[in-house]
Amino acid sequence: MPPTRVIIDTDPGIDDALALILAFASPELSVEAITTVAGNVPVAQAARNARMVLDVMGRSPGPPVAVGARGPLKKKLRPAQDYHGEDGLGELSRFKTGEGIPRYPEPQQLPEPQPAPALIAEIIGSAPGEIVLICLGPLTNLAMAIQAAPTQMAQVKEIIVMGGAIQAPGNVTPGAEFNLYTDPDAAKLVFTSGLPITLIPLDVTQRVMLTAELIDAVVRHIDSRVTQFVRDTTERLFGVEQRRTGYAAIPLHDPLAVGVAIDRSLVSSRPLHVEVETGDGPAQGMTIADRRPLKEEWKKPPNLQVCMEVDAGRFMALFLERICRPTA
Ligand code: BDR
Ligand code: CA
């Protein structure tokens, strides 16, 4: 089987960085481009962080890293730097080599000059039915690409979106998940586009947890630049999660979306009609899925495939095996 050609649209972000590592360490995928969007951090920082991951993986120069939307379509950006750290990667400037040199210097690769939405549409339009787009941040770039280039975007093979909370509670408000909360107008446009979308909501991503015990038992024993990065970027976040939830455990939201592109059998999904609340009130960004036990003809037709179950043990084994692989 030839590898699946993917574009990763992302706002790194610690779990985004782990997702990029999983993608590059997986022979089932060929990453054609990374496109960045404002979300966890401002977009320039997101693009810098994506380029830093390429350096860590020994993949610079690698696929193009494009800069995208500087903020949501209508709402004001509220980044998540309290959670991911000021730099979005757990404050890596703390780490120095024995000689006092930064362990993570400025990335080598320059950003791609073409804006992210245009690059997404161009790559998809040039390979009809081949490209899987994996969206790990707010859906702003994707919405802009659909608006500007609907014919090219109709050629996409599949769009895998990490976002939403179907039965699970939210993670940024009681009802809403961060990516859809940040740009609900973009999510609404994407969800009503008619494109083939698979949703990876909190219902499954909060069941795949990277614990401090797993770092100690597995990752710490493998000596590589990637495992060092994984330990460094997660170190501060384990403390944040311990204070927030009482557990030193990080949900692998974005890596699971990449996992689904690698191996669909890790999850089971069902077709659902899902809408997104775009108002400014307490329901901003909430997903409303029609799970009523009615005959299908009484409901609006499904617009998404929604993942509701995950084989968490098998995904965690895959994730750990891939991040501990020797890199090129
Ligand atoms: C999503 O929000 C971000 O903070 C994570 O990177 C992930 O994409 C989870 O709600
Ligand atoms: Ca993300």
Q: What is the pLDDT of residues 209-256, one digit of tens each?
A: 999 999 999 999 999 999 999 999 999 999 999 999 999 999 999 999
Please give the number of the atom of ligand 1 that sits closest to the Cα of 80. Answer: 4
pLDDT at 326: 81
Ligand 1 atom nearest to CA at 137: 8
Per the CB < 8 A criterion, the answer to whether 320 and 313 are in contact is no
CA of residue 82 relative to chain centroid, distance: 18
Give the residues surrounding ligand 1 with Cβ less than 6 Å away: 13, 15-16, 40, 80, 136-137, 162, 171, 177-179, 253-254
CA 254 to centroid of ligand 2, rounded, Å: 6
Does the active-site annotation cover 221?
no
Listed residues: CB within 5 A of ion ligand 2: 11, 13, 16, 136-137, 254
Model pLDDT, residue 108: 86
User: Pick from 81, 72, 89, 82: which is nearest to 181 by CA?
Assistant: 72
CB 110 within 8 A of CB 42: no
For the CA of 136, the closest atom of ligand 1 is 8
The DSSP letter of residue 99 is T
Pocket test for ligand 1, best of 40, 177, 182, 256 (most atoms within 8 A of CB): 40
- The pLDDT-based confidence of 74 (bands split at 50, 70, 90) is very high
The pLDDT of residue 290: 97
- Mean pLDDT rounded to a whole number for the chain: 97
Query: Judging by DSSP bridges, how do beta strands 29-36 and 65-67 pair with one another?
Result: parallel
Residue from 180, 254, 258, 260 whose mutation best tests the ligand 1 pocket (most atoms within 8 A of CB): 254
Report, as an integer, the average pLDDT of 107-119: 95
| Residue 327: per-residue pLDDT | 74
Nearest to 21 by CA among 315, 184, 268, 226: 226
Q: What domains, with CATH codes, occur in the chain?
A: 4-323 (3.90.245.10)
What pLDDT score does 243 carry? 97
Residue 196: pLDDT band with limits 50, 70, 90: very high
328 has a pLDDT exceeding 80: no
Cα(230)–Cα(87) distance, rounded to whole angstroms?
15
Measured distance CA(260)–CA(267) in Å, rounded: 7
Instruction: Choose the catalytic residue: 84, 221, 253, 273.
Output: 253
Q: Is the pLDDT of residue 271 over 90?
A: yes
CB atoms inside a 10 Å sphere around CB 108 = 11
Region 36-55: mean pLDDT is 98
* C-alpha 263 to ligand 1 mean position (Å): 21
d(CA 62, CA 70): 23
Cα 23 → chain centroid = 11
Instruction: Report the nearest atom of ligand 1 relative to the CA of 83.
Output: 4
Ligand 2 centroid from CA 296, angstroms: 33
Question: pTM of the entire structure?
Answer: 0.98
Ligand 1 center to 102 CA (angstroms): 27
Count CB atoms within 10 A of the CB of residue 287: 26
- Residue of the nearest CA to atom 10 in ligand 1? 178
Provide, for the chain, the percentages of residues in helix, strand and coil under a 3-state DSSP scheme, each rounded to the nearest 5: 40, 20, 40
Q: Are 161 and 123 a contacting pair, CB within 8 Å?
A: no
The string of pLDDT tens digits covering residues 141-172 is 999 999 999 999 999 999 999 999 999 999 99
Percent of the chain residues past pLDDT 70, beyond the cut: 100
Q: What are phi and psi of 169, to 5 degrees?
A: -70, 165
| Span 279-300, pLDDT tens digits | 999 999 999 999 999 999 999 9
